[in-house]
Amino acid sequence: MRWIVLAVMILLLPVATAAHGGKPEIIYEKSFESIPKSGIKNGIREQGIVERKDIGHRPPITENETKNQMRHQPPIPIREEDRVRIMEEIKNKIIIQKENREISKEKRGTFEKSLQQRFEDYHNYRKLYQKMGLQSEEGFQYAKRYVFHGAYAIIDFLKLIKTDLETLNIDETTKQKINKTIDEIIQTLEAKIEKINQSYTIEEFRDAVGDLSSYWKSVRNDVKIYAELIVVAKLDDLIKRAEIIGLNLNSEVDLSEYFKHLDNAKIFLTNATEKISNGMDAREDIQIAREEIRRAFEILREIYKETQPFFGNETGQLWVEINGTAMVSGSAIIHIKGNATVEVSPLDAVVTAVGFKKSDGVLTGDGNLVIKGNVNVNATGDFCMFVKGVADVYLEGKGEYKVRPVFEEEFGEFQLSGNETIVLGGKRL
CATH label of the domain that carries residue 157? 1.20.120
Distance between CA 130 and CA 428 in Å, rounded?
74
Nearest C-alpha neighbor of 114 from the set 163, 159, 146: 159
Residues 299 and 337 in one domain: no
Residues 301 and 325 in one domain: no
Using the Cα atoms of residue 248, residue 300, residue 339 and residue 56 in order, give the sign of their dihedral. negative
Residue 41 in domain: no
Cis preceding-peptide flag for 77 (omega within 30 of 0): yes
Residues 274 and 390 in one domain: no
Residues 293 and 322 in one domain: no
CA distances to 2, 264, 284, 290, 312 from 268, rounded to whole Å, are 20, 6, 9, 9, 37
Residues 122 and 6 in one domain: yes
Residue 44 in domain: no
Residue 251 in domain: no
Residues 192 and 288 in one domain: no
Residue 338 in domain: yes
| Residue range of the domain that includes 330 | 316-424
Domains held by the chain: number: 3
Question: Using alpha carbons only, how large is the chain's radius of gyration in Å?
Answer: 26
Residues 334 and 371 in one domain: yes
Using the Cα atoms of residue 98, residue 103, residue 104 and residue 109 in order, give the sign of their dihedral. positive
Residue 64 in domain: no
Residues 289 and 321 in one domain: no
Check residue 8 and give its pLDDT: 38
Q: What is the pLDDT along the chain (429 residues), one digit of tens a residue?
A: 444 344 434 444 444 344 444 333 322 222 323 333 333 333 333 333 333 333 333 444 444 444 444 444 555 677 777 888 888 888 888 888 788 888 888 888 899 999 999 999 999 999 999 998 888 999 999 999 999 999 999 999 999 999 998 888 777 888 888 999 999 999 999 999 999 999 999 999 999 999 999 999 999 988 988 888 888 988 988 888 888 777 766 555 677 888 899 999 999 999 998 888 787 888 899 999 999 998 888 887 776 655 544 444 568 899 999 999 999 999 999 999 999 999 999 887 889 888 999 888 799 999 989 998 899 999 999 999 999 989 999 999 999 999 988 877 788 888 888 889 999 987 655
Check residue 169 and give its pLDDT: 73
Domain boundary among the residues 232, 266, 291 is at 232
Check residue 125 and give its pLDDT: 94
DSSP 154-194: HHHHHHHHHHHHHHS---HHHHHHHHHHHHHHHHHHHHHHH
Residue 290 in domain: yes
Nearby residues of 84 by Cβ (< 8 Å), 6 or more positions away: none
The residue type found at 339 is N
Whether pTM > 0.85 for this model: the answer is no
Check residue 305 and give its pLDDT: 54
Residues 288 and 383 in one domain: no
Check residue 151 and give its pLDDT: 95
Check residue 262 and give its pLDDT: 92
Task: Answer for the pair 147, 15: CB distance below 8 angstroms, yes or no.
Answer: yes
Check residue 101 and give its pLDDT: 81
Residue 140 in domain: yes
Residues 301 and 267 in one domain: yes
Residues 207 and 343 in one domain: no
Backbone angles phi, psi at 196, to 5 degrees: -65, -45
Residues 276 and 159 in one domain: no
Domain boundary among the residues 172, 199, 232 is at 232
Residue 57 in domain: no
